[in-house]
Structure 1
Amino acid sequence: MEKFVTKEGCKATEIHNRMCIVMGEDAPSFSTVCRWSLQFKQGRKSLDDEPRSDRPSEVTQPEVIAAIEKGILADRRVKVSELSLEFQITVGSVEKIIHDHLGMCKVSARWVPRNLSAQDRHQRTQSCTELLDLYNADEARFLSCLVTGDETWIHHWDRETKLKSLQWKHPSSPPQ
């Protein structure tokens, strides 16, 4: 519209007023209308951005997307900043590829117990009730009579934080 009105010889103020009437709040600012009007008078044909030599190349090419996906699948705990350094693209571009193109999100890979079956719940409730009865019967001797055991020896266990356990996954991936 603006190109047409500029060719008619209208001033930027009149163009902006007409755009505000037609477009309301969605109308561009007065300074934008002035800039466009001047550019159309100088021979510009389109409102689209023209390619520039200093503009970075598009990083969302299929080869880059495939390479980032391969890097994530090789190490699901890789950080966006590490991928950014490896592929020499911005963190924002890596995030856009991961979320928009690959549809991946980062989830915690910590072990979370599943819901117990009715039989398991009943057995645990019964065991806890028996232990509570023993405790209430003789509080002083309770701990000295309690024996626990397991066939697994764990010498050292370093629990991961939630942040350290985050992994990338596709929406169709099974839960961790």
Structure 2
Amino acid sequence: MVYREACVDYSTVCRWVSSLKGGDPTESILRDQKRSGKPLSASNAADQKAVGKIILGNWRIKQKDTAKEIEILKERVQHKFIITDILGYRKVSAKWVPRMLTDEMEMQRTTTCAELLKYYEEEGEELIHRLKRHCIN
């Protein structure tokens, strides 16, 4: 009664005793045995590389299609595993995009923003209207 939830349930202990009763306790295997089927872990280098290659080939691919293509569990490709944690991608408007910008990408964005700001200071609202017309056509 002192430990409450921190203890193993009485019925679990009874089940353990009954399963160990028949044989020699020193020969009893208390660890999980290897199971057949696909391994749960997909964080090996080959699978990471394969997922990265698939995403680079198709930015709009779904996680389940990626898993099916390289024959691993969908859960291992999903968030908090290969795509987001290891490869650093996130989903934006149905596309996988890198989470971190490279130095070159940052420099390009900074340059583009500075140019647009300079044009806006020169042209004002006319620039906005021109850009809207350009985007619509």
TMscore range, shorter length:
0.5 to 0.7
Q: Which has the higher helix share?
A: 2
Structure 1 unaligned residues grouped into runs of 5+: 1-19, 109-165
- 2:28 matches 1:44: yes
Structure 2 CA distance for partners of 1:40 and 1:85, relative to 1, 3 Å: same
Aligned partner of 1:69 in structure 2 is: 52
Identity of aligned residues (%): 29
> RMSD between aligned alpha carbons?
2.9
The whole-number CA distance in structure 1 between the counterparts of 2:28 and 2:59 is: 48
The whole-number CA distance in structure 2 between the counterparts of 1:60 and 1:82 is: 17
The whole-number CA distance in structure 1 between the counterparts of 2:87 and 2:19 is: 39
State the structure with more CA Rg: 1
Q: RCO greater where, 1 or 2, for CA within 8 Å and sep 6 or more?
A: 1
Aligned partner of 1:167 in structure 2 is: 95
Matched positions, count: 97
Q: How does 1:8-87 map to 2 (within 5 A)?
A: 21-22=2-3, 24-41=4-21, 42=25, 43-46=27-30, 48-52=31-35, 54-57=36-39, 58-87=41-70
Structure 1 residue 167: deviation in Å?
A: 1.3
Structure 2 CA distance for partners of 1:29 and 1:55, relative to 1, 3 Å: farther
Structure 2 unaligned residues grouped into runs of 5+: 110-137
What's the TM-score once normalised by structure 2's chain length?
Answer: 0.54
Structure 2 CA distance for partners of 1:65 and 1:40, relative to 1, 3 Å: farther
What's the TM-score once normalised by structure 1's chain length?
Answer: 0.44
